[in-house]
Every structure is written in structure tokens, then in C-alpha cells.
Structure 1
């Protein structure tokens, strides 16, 4: 009789036990990406897989500090952050683990990922030259380096040196030319400033349109955001792909990217999510409406981005540029770039 009761209870409980056992583990993501740009994509992953995503959003530096302080007790399985300097710094602090993934290696070009496989780019953020249409002949434009020449004195707009995008651009120049030449270029930029530096690229682009300066350097996705609301802005300010001649290296490309945390409780789930984010279909969705470019070469760019045409990107590895960020900050301070 007792055996029959036990058997009956086991039969009743077994479906629930199996369901709990087979339930996908949750993935906790720490992200410095703007939440409304990322959450819809993560919600789609939950709908497709049943995996719940716990999302915590904060600034990139704060998340790195938090991961470092939490150590082994951290609930984070994945870090998503913007700028190659932040990615490199997180990896060098031992906060990201190596991920062996043929899928990621196939989806993300080698120059857009860590050689140690600790992080992978998820979207490209090109930083190039913009100019006032009608006031600047694009035939007179060429390179970032050329903007340091005296012919641009009083005509250049730049973003503050406190911003990681400025620091990574200068880090790219250090990786390309060495510190002495990079310092000479940055000093020339400072000498050519038309006005105080800007706290964001949108204000910089608007300043070009308003006649405060004739040329400037900005991330392309800020331009895309403005064009999506004000298509006529493209008649006032135009994009010029920098450094396109054979000996000039190519336009600077920054990243948003991600990696699996060292103390991840669900590293397998984090790896699968990272692979999914790098896939062709999701890369298209991930970058449409953000005006970034997909890292997966098979993915389609947003129509606004596609209209800017093909360009040659700098082949320098993102990790090599990220490693020069501290040097870039010191260099910017020396030349009086605020």
C-alpha cells in the first residue's frame, strides 16, 4: 500500500521535476549600451529560446569597477560595452574569459575581436571626417593627419578628450605612427580649433551646419540619428571617408562588443547568446535604427548607413588600439587637448 502511494506521488511530481530540470538557465548581462537599443534584441532571444535575460545597465567604467569588486560573487555572465578601450581594459583586468567558438570566429572578422578570444565586436562605430557642404571642397579633404595642417586653422571642430571615442582615435594614431608623430598630429588639431571642444558629436555636427567651423571628426551613427529626423541635414553637412588612399591606412572603426565574464555562473548560456548576437539575421536587427554597421559581413546595413557607400577601414586590430588608450590620455593632456 505504501509503495503504491509513493509510486503515485512520484508519477504526479515527475512532469514538474523534468520541466524544472530542462528549464534553460538564465543569463545575466551587464551592459553599458543604451538600454532601449539592446533590450528589444534580448527580449527576442527570450522569445526564441525561453532563456530569461537579466539586464543591468550602467556606464562602461562603472561596470568594469563593479565586476572587479564583485569578483567570484558576481552574478554577471556577460559584459557588453562600447569602445575598444573599455573592452581591452576589462580583459586585461582578468574580468573576461577565453571563449572557444568557431561560430564567433566565423562571424566576427579577426581585426574586430580580441586575439585572446576574450571579447568580440558586435557593431562597428566608424569615426570619420564631416564637412560643411558648399563651404568646403571635398577635394581638399584627405586624412585625420591632414587636419593638423595650418590650412585648417580656425576651421576645425573636435569632441572633448574626456570621451573614449577621442581617446581611441588618438590611440589608433599611436598604434599607426608611434607616440611622437601622434602627439604632433594632436597638437596640430588643438592649434586649428575653431571653438571650444564639444561634449557630444551631435552638437559638433550641428556646429558645422551653423557655420561655427568647417570640418570636424564624429562617429557616423550620430550623423545617422540626425538624418533619420532631419533628412535635409545631409545637404548642409556631408560625410567624408578619411584615409582612403593606398598608403593612408583606412578610416578608424570603433566598436561595441561583448565577452563572457570570468566568474560567469552560466558561461555556456552566455556563449550561446554572444554567438546569436553575431549571427547574420540578428546583426541586421541589432544595427538597424542605431546607424552602426554590422560586424558580420553577411548582414545588411541600415539604409541610411548603406547610402554612405563602401569605404576602406583601418586594418589595425582593435585590441592593439585599446592597449594604447592610457598613452593616448597622457598625450592629450600634454598637448592641451581638453
Structure 2
């Protein structure tokens, strides 16, 4: 058995061919980093005897699939964020999978209605607050981010980042365009600085006193706690699971799709089913401090210490459908501008 890993960037994609149609193999295009997949694929190989070949990239995999067309050696694509998964569907680069195993393991709201993508892990879009300057219970919902009391106290990354677009899309689903735009304009008015950096940078900004409140994915906080160079920043913030007493906390996903070409289709589906299994779900979620998509798998370790998450059960497909409206809204309120 062998697992081939190739770290790449977009400009190098064309120079990294995969072997297509070899018996006993499955070929993977992945946006997820090598250290996350290695223990999973090793377990899959040991269980099935099927070899795995992987190409990693930060961007450009959809373009590569489109360029390769029916000659693509890729069997599956593994990526993060519902917008990236939906892009594969919209560009007709993936096919549906009819699998009772996947349907039993992955809840309906975390998979495409025609089986064109399936969630593998989830992550909450949380509110982070200063332990020193924000009292417990002082903010409990996304809606409260627009309250005047947070004027000049909020930091976020770009409103156009996929993670924020997904959150805005969920707000549109719950409140409609007009109310969500009013809310987003209110959040912008409360910003302490122009949107910049990533989710970790917002936590660091709270620790440094630049702002008191930020929005970020749960796993970034977990990763910072495990990094000796960033732990001091993470320890100065407190987690808030927004809307826990109402509709639930907005979640996003990492997921997998079967490509249109899939020369090793049977092996690919076996991999997809394995990744949805309790065994793999535990490995996958713990490796990146995420939540399992399979509801039968309980969180453990660091994530369990944060307390139970009550996720919004809104269909991720509905969020994907609101993406264009969310992007236009960010422009209309000039969220990223001065």
C-alpha cells in the first residue's frame, strides 16, 4: 500500500500528473493540508488495500478539473467551505452519489440534495470576546453585533471572504435581504478598523486591545491554543456560541465530491463512505479541532472542553444559493471600505 502526497501551488498544478485508471487506486485533488489527510488515508489503505494518490493545492483545482475534462485522473475533490463545493456543482465538474451509507452517516442538511457533495467535518462561526472587557452573556447572537454598544469595538476579516459570505448568506435565509443589509451596515459601523487579515489575526487584535469582539471559525481558536507562539493570544478571549438558545450557531463545512470523470469510481465511493464512518470522523475532526459531520460521533479532547454546540440546521445548499446576494450586499454597504 502507498500514499503519494504532493504539495503544490496553483502555478505548479499542471506539472503534477496523477496516474489514472490504475486498479486498486483512488486519486484525490485536495485543498486540505497533508497533515490532516495522512492519518485518514493511511487508515483507509490498511482497511481496504486501496492505494491513494493526492495532489494538494491552495487554489486552482476547479480550473484544473475543467481543463482536464473527461481525461482528468481525479476521482474526488476534498475542500473547505460550501461556496467551493457549490462551485464544483455549478461548473458541472462533479456527479451525484447514491449511497445509503453516506445518507445514513451524513445529515440531510449537510449534503447536496442530489449527492453531489457531502460534509465531512463542521466548524462553528463563533463570536470571540475579550475576557477582560466583555462580560459573560453580554453578547449572545449574531444580530447583536449591529448594536450601538459595540461601536468601534469589532474586528473582522474581509466581508468577501467565503466564511463571512456564508454567514451573511445564512442571515439572508433567516431574515431576508432588507433586514440582513441593515444588520450588515450596522456591523460595519461598529468596526474598530478596516477588515483585514484572517480569523487568527482578529483574536490577536482582541488580545492587543485593538477591539473587544470578533467573528471566527472555531478551529482557528483550537489551533492557536495548540501553538505555543499563539496560545497567549487565544487565552485572552472567550468563546461565544451565537444563537445557541434560538436557531443555533451558523456552521460551515469541509466536504468531498465525486468528480465527473472519476476513473476509479467504485474505489472513490468506498473512500467517501469510509470518511463518513465513525472511525474516520474521529480522526478527521480531532486532527483540526473540528466537529464531526456524523452526528453519531461525539466530540472529544479540546473541542469537548468548549461545551456543546447547537448548530443551525439550515441546509448548506440554501446558504450556497444565497451566495451571490451576499456578495452584492457586501459591496452595497462598502463593508471592506473606509
Output the TM-score relative to the length of structure 1: 0.89
Q: Equivalent residue for 1:243?
A: 243
Q: How far, CA to CA, are the matches of 2:159 and 2:232 in structure 1?
A: 30
- Whole-angstrom distance in 2 between the partners of 1:34 and 1:158: 24
Task: Verify the 8 A CA contact 2:79 2:256 in the aligned structure 1.
Answer: yes
Partner of 1:35: 34
Shift of 1:39: 2.6
C-alpha displacement of 1:24: 4.5
| TM-fit CA distance, 1:170 | 0.9
Give yes or no for the alignment of 1:185 onto 2:199.
no
In structure 2, what is the Cα distance between the partners aligned to 1:209 and 1:229? Answer: 16
Is the Cα contact below 8 Å between 2:24 and 2:49 reproduced in 1? no
2:328 is matched with which residue: 302, 327, 330? 330
Give the C-alpha shift of residue 181 in structure 1.
1.4
Question: Structure 2: where are the runs of 5+ without partners?
Answer: 1-21
* Alpha-carbon displacement from aligned partner over 1:154-193 (angstroms, at most 9, x marks no partner): 0001111242111111111112211211111111111100
1:13 is matched with which residue? none
CA shift, 1:216, in A, is 0.7
Aligned position for 1:52: 51
The 2-side partners of 1:75 and 1:163 are apart by: 30
Equivalence for 1:155: 153
Instruction: Report the count of equivalent residues.
Output: 313
Match among 197, 201, 204 for residue 203 of structure 1: 201
- TM-score (ref. length: structure 2): 0.89
Who is 1:5 aligned against? none
| Counterpart-to-counterpart distance in 2, 1:164 and 1:243 | 21
Greater C-alpha radius of gyration: 1
State the Cα deviation string for residues 229-254 of structure 1 (Å, max 9, x = none): 356655410101101223xx211100
Deviation at 1:140, TM superposition (A): 1.5
CA distance in 1, matches of 2:159, 2:58: 17
Q: More displaced, 112-121 or 232-241?
A: 232-241
For the aligned residue pairs, the C-alpha RMSD in angstroms reads 1.6
Distance of 1:276 and 1:92 partners within structure 2? 26
The equivalences for 1:1-338 within 5 A come to: 24-60=23-59, 62-230=60-228, 235-246=235-246, 249-338=247-336
- Offset, 1:78: 0.4
- Structure 1: 5+ residue runs without aligned partners? 1-22
